[in-house]
Amino acid sequence: MRYFIGNWKMFGVPKSISILNKINSYYSKDKNRNKYRVIMTPPYTLIESYSKYFKNKKISIGAQNCYQKEQFSSNTAAVSPYMLKSVGAKYTLVGHSDNRGEGDTDTMLKDKVRYALKNNLKVVFCIGENKTEKKNKKTLSVLKRQLTKVLEKKFNKNNLIVAYEPIWSIGTGKIPTTDELKKTTIHIKKVLKGIFKKNSPAVLYGGSVDGSNVEMFKEIKEIDGFLVGGASKTSKKFIDIIKNYYR
């Protein structure tokens, strides 16, 4: 099974549902539709209405983040996994570089993953190295630390997806070479196998993915799908990624 996950970040109003309608229309008719899943993560403000609208359709709706407490607390503007589940979210991103940059620690991320899974949300756990770490050849050690500091054997791996997003690639148009990405993905899966002992969670790639470069990633069988940023805000660009991947 492949995954095509869109991260809208700070984008979208109620009428933006037309973008998802077009994607859903394509998805529903695509001859390859049973080979992949489409998940979209709009801002919190749209999760409930979009979840209701797409309840019996192909697209699943998720959140871009969650707070590190299970249900309710006195933290202003925080949204817990329990609250996300109550408005229909099925997935949540955790550990995106934007949030790590704003102060998310490994301890906080572990709590986010734990409570999201406890509330039956599927977690897309994001990892990635920055430009300096890549330059200093620390990519593999950084990714191993990010995985082993947060994920535990007792977590339900069936509800976990890992997304590798090199920070230096996000929004820059720069992407790893095929050899780099293959080596990195194999390393991630090896670390995950060490944590969970048996079959590891799916591993996605994210970072400047678009319709023009997605065919390159097709060569890397270890990649189980994509976390898409900017290109997910336009139905044509997102559909082109799927089309060109299966071309």
Catalytic annotation present for 96: yes
Q: In angstroms, rounded to a whole number, what is the distance separating the alpha carbons of residues 227 and 224?
A: 10
The share of the chain scoring above pLDDT 90, in percent, equals 96
Does 173 have pLDDT greater than 90? no
Q: In angstroms, rounded to a whole number, what is the distance separating the alpha carbons of residues 217 and 68?
A: 33
Domain carrying residue 104 = 2-245
Residue 30 belongs to domain with CATH number: 3.20.20.70
pTM: 0.97
Whole-number average pLDDT of the chain: 96
Mean pLDDT of 171-199: 94
Mean pLDDT of 220-224: 95
Catalytic annotation present for 187: no
Q: What is the tens place of the pLDDT at every residue in 26-76?
A: 999 999 999 999 999 999 999 999 999 999 999 999 999 999 999 999 999
Does 104 have pLDDT greater than 90? yes
Q: What is the pLDDT of residue 192?
A: 98
φ/ψ region of 209 (left if φ > 0, alpha if ψ in -120 to 50, else beta) reads beta
Q: What is the pLDDT of residue 223?
A: 97
The one catalytic residue among 129, 133, 165, 187 = 165
The one catalytic residue among 96, 129, 133, 187 = 96
Does 121 have pLDDT greater than 90? yes
Q: What is the pLDDT of residue 171?
A: 86
**Could you give the number of structural domains in the chain?**
1
